[in-house]
Amino acid sequence: MTAVTDTTRNGVDTGKMFATLDLIKEQPELAEFQFRATNRWIAGAHNRSTIQGFYAAGGEDTSRTGAFELDAGEPAILLGTDTGPNPAEYLLHALAACLTTSIVYVAAARKVKLTSVESTLTGDMDVRGALGVDEKPRNGFERIDASFRVTGNAPEEQLREVVERARKRSAVYDMVTNGVPVAMEVTTH
């Protein structure tokens, strides 16, 4: 017997979502993923990352038919020519995108239909740190403020619970707030 039901909510196939969760509970080794970016300097503040392959669920995932290309740059005041957002802005985007997707997925799992998710993130930086002018200010943002507006067919309290659960599960929120060990290897020929 096959039960045919429309399990898609917020654009997320919740049937497939719960099947994936069940599978990973049964076979935790399938949960090992590796994501990658390859970057190449072009000129000045202009460099480009290529993103395509990744490892997932026990093998190399080859489902992406093409590569994503991301151009980074700096505005004139930071000696660039605006060839793309700057790296710190990309970090804000990564955080906004991860929190948003987490909100959408958690809502889908909880049968909450969302009508909108909008956010503005700001990061305050004393650039004396990154420019090496003063040892006191840190290089990165001193703080990030994220302002979210989330609407949907649920009472305010439930919408807030969705956001809170999403925050607790977001991969990039975890990394940006808690940090990640980075190992760097360099060759010069």
Minimum Å distance from CB 1 to a second copy? Answer: 25
Looking at the Cβ atoms of 2 and 109, the one nearer to a second copy is 109
* Residue 6 in tokens: 């429309």
Q: What's the CA gap between 46 and 17, in Å, rounded?
A: 38
Looking at the Cβ atoms of 1 and 116, the one nearer to a second copy is 116
Minimum Å distance from CB 76 to a second copy? Answer: 5
41-50 CB contacts, 8 Å cutoff, 24+ apart: 42/83, 44/74, 44/79, 44/80, 44/81, 45/72, 45/73, 45/74, 45/78, 45/79, 45/80, 45/81, 45/83, 45/86, 46/71, 46/72, 46/73, 46/80, 46/81, 46/83, 46/84, 47/71, 47/72, 48/72
Identity of residue 169 = R
Minimum Å distance from CB 6 to a second copy? Answer: 14
Looking at the Cβ atoms of 2 and 65, the one nearer to a second copy is 65
Minimum Å distance from CB 5 to a second copy? Answer: 17
Q: Is 28 left (phi over 0), alpha (psi -120 to 50) or beta?
A: alpha
Looking at the Cβ atoms of 3 and 28, the one nearer to a second copy is 28
Specify whether the CB–CB gap between 93 and 101 falls below 8 A. no
Minimum Å distance from CB 111 to a second copy? Answer: 16
Looking at the Cβ atoms of 1 and 186, the one nearer to a second copy is 186
Q: Three-state SS for 156? A: helix
Looking at the Cβ atoms of 1 and 168, the one nearer to a second copy is 168
Minimum Å distance from CB 170 to a second copy? Answer: 6
Q: What angle do CA 142, 148, 152 make, to 5 degrees?
A: 165
